[in-house]
């Protein structure tokens, strides 16, 4: 990413650029940098995504929204999101698989088992 100082989220952008087709939607809690470099990014913290906020208020988590109501096929964020695959909320652990967890790089990747968008 030319001209961008290392700010702790470049590894997420690099992974998405190298591994996710441009037509596929990516979700993340930390979306500022990723959203700048990847147009199909969906925020999951609720600050800029009213649907995620409504789900969090209704159920205490965004996971039902991700599984049932979003087009998200990948979640790429800091390593902590890898723990989401152990969650049973709305069938999240059945809908998503852990593709990568790299603690040293502070990177985790979850992938929807049955994509909502063709990757070609």
Structurally, the chain folds into a number of domains equal to 1
- What is the C-alpha to C-alpha distance for residues 86 and 78, in angstroms, rounded to an integer? 16
Write down the number of H helices and E strands in the chain. Answer: 5, 5
What residues make up the domain containing 85? Answer: 20-101
Q: Would you say residue 57 lies in a domain?
A: yes
Q: 3-state DSSP: the chain helix, strand, coil percent, rounded to 5?
A: 40, 20, 40
The pLDDT tens digits along the chain (120 residues) read 455 445 567 888 899 999 999 899 999 887 777 777 878 888 888 778 899 999 889 988 899 999 999 999 999 999 999 999 887 777 899 999 999 999 999 999 999 999 997 765
Residue 107 lies in a domain: no
Give a yes or no: residue 118 inside a domain: no
Residue 117: the pLDDT is 77
* Contact between 110 and 14 (Cβ < 8 Å): no
pTM for this entry: 0.88
In a domain, residue 110? The reply is no
């Amino acid at each position: 990413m030319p001209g961008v100082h290392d700010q702790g989220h470049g590894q997420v952008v690099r992974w998405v650029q190298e591994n996710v087709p441009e037509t596929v939607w990516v979700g993340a809690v930390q979306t500022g940098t990723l959203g700048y470099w990847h147009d199909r990014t969906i925020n999951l913290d609720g600050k800029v995504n009213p649907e995620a906020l409504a789900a969090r208020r209704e159920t205490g988590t965004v996971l039902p929204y991700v599984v049932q109501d979003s087009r998200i096929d990948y979640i790429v964020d800091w390593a902590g999101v890898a723990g989401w695959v152990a969650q049973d909320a709305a069938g999240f652990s059945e809908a998503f698989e852990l593709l990568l967890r790299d603690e040293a790089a502070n990177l985790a990747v979850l992938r929807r088992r049955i994509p909502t968008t063709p990757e070609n």
